[in-house]
Structure 1
């Protein structure tokens, strides 16, 4: 596998994606959008029935894929078709198409060291790979769900690329200036030099500082794992401390905290409504008030 993204355009990505969907390799189908607001916070629920086959919890089995090859020793992620792998980045990550998709296309960034774990914090190599994706595919944002409480469903360390923007991004990124209320605590920084000019070491430095603030809010000792979400889009990095992966049947990953929630059916939306949209976000994150 070459280490070159020059021959991968958004157009070629979609071509490969569509072909693998038509052959039943990638699980993807139509979704319905429901847009709501609670205490001013905007949210979009994408109901995607194709997600019913996705394993949503760590350790969950998926009979359809259990015989597929794993993504390396120690990995709990499946690679049923080599065409899912688009290229290798910097000798550290595979850039691949996701098996279970709400977007067309949706990307996975997996560590080549398949013993790396999702509860570990991000490294300079991870940011190098994330920056490459953001530069090559300007319509995409990248997320990282750190640990069970961060909403991850697989243990092998990976990030994801999704079609931007996250639904509540504009609201959230301008909240402090406009005095708008965000229901949960988050920390953010805009890179004035842009992702194009940012080095992975710059991003790591900012992330380390924001992660330290997450630890404080969650009252964690240095040695303890810090569950959190990372979202990178439009030259911003946003880090969200997490207390829970789900509550009373409602759950969210990094995208969900930023207003883009993907669910397999209407009953999941009903759960959010029953508990209260903002109440769920406060339970998953740290309430801002």
Structure 2
């Protein structure tokens, strides 16, 4: 899997209209309390469904077959059939705010988005990041309904890493952590010890998730309805240089002000300027504090 081939496949899907990507999207920066937020204004999100709205990802008819156990039909959207040890496959996301915007899905359609990541998930993401360009791409995971997921089939998303997120300080040893109002836990991967393995990344993720769970367990909006095996709702953001894990209380303040993993890092995708104005009225950091777990 090479980035150039993936881009060609992605562009072809956009040209056919199967994938929605707005190549005229705007990036609008906003400073609040000395912290920079970036809104990505894109029409591609105007038709994106919520968790409660049936989604049909595939192109062939209203009753296209899904993978057994899955609520995402990826027929016609596949990019790479085997990732990592063959436990995952890569597909284009139908509703995109990046070029490319991809989904890394488990081959087992019964694996659920409310469960924490396994070593096989991390291995697949680590492999995909390396193949796409280890200095440029990010993988992120929205765990559970309150973590911002819109589908229940377990999947990680990948795209080029946006500039100037809250986590940009992690790209430099001398970087200064911004004063965010919610709990987040992170770790840089040391470059001096040689290549980092998926096993090591999994250990770090597990440790950070334990910290996130200690402050977030039972605080999520839908905690009473969560299955017994559900992990604490959280976001995971991973590059080949660092990882961030943060607990979540809710997916959205209202139907227009919700955030996925990248939104919690100050990169907020919206379909309209009205949505952006709604965020500004609510207060950006105050809203993220309510979506995450306040310090």
Task: Compute the TM-score of the two structures, normalised by the length of structure 2.
Answer: 0.87
- Farther off after superposition, 276-285 or 32-41: 32-41
- 1:3 is matched with none
Deviation at 1:40, TM superposition (A): 2.4
Candidates 9, 14, 20, aligned match of 1:21:
14
Candidates 31, 40, 54, aligned match of 1:61:
54
Could you report, residue by residue, the CA deviation over 1:119-174 in whole angstroms, capped at 9, with x for unpaired residues?
00000000000100111122210000000111100000000101114522224777
1:147 correspondence with 2:144: yes
1:98 correspondence with 2:79: no
Could you report, residue by residue, the CA deviation over 1:190-209 in whole angstroms, capped at 9, with x for unpaired residues?
11148981222211111111
CA distance in 1, matches of 2:229, 2:92: 34
Decide whether the 8 Å contact of 1:41 with 1:171 is kept in 2. no
CA distance in 2, matches of 1:59, 1:212: 29
Distance 1:20 1:224, change over 3 A: closer
In structure 1, list runs of 5 or more residues that go unmatched: 1-7
- 1:258 is matched with 265
Deviation at 1:84, TM superposition (A): 2.6
1:86 correspondence with 2:90: no
Candidates 28, 40, 43, aligned match of 1:46:
40
Could you report, residue by residue, the CA deviation over 1:92-121 in whole angstroms, capped at 9, with x for unpaired residues?
001122111111111110000000000000
- Farther off after superposition, 129-138 or 111-120: 129-138
Task: Compute the TM-score of the two structures, normalised by the length of structure 1.
Answer: 0.88
CA distance in 2, matches of 1:105, 1:171: 24
CA distance in 2, matches of 1:188, 1:84: 32
Deviation at 1:85, TM superposition (A): 3.3
| Equivalent runs, 1:134-283 vs 2, <5 Å | 134-138=129-133, 139-165=136-162, 167-171=165-169, 178=176, 180-193=178-191, 197-220=195-218, 225-249=231-255, 250-283=257-290
Deviation at 1:227, TM superposition (A): 0.3
Q: Which secondary structure does the structure 1 equivalent of 2:262 belong to?
A: helix
Q: Report the RMSD for the aligned CA atoms in angstroms.
A: 2.5
CA distance in 2, matches of 1:196, 1:164: 23
- Farther off after superposition, 63-72 or 36-45: 63-72
Aligned residues: 279
- 2:222 is matched with none
Deviation at 1:267, TM superposition (A): 1.3
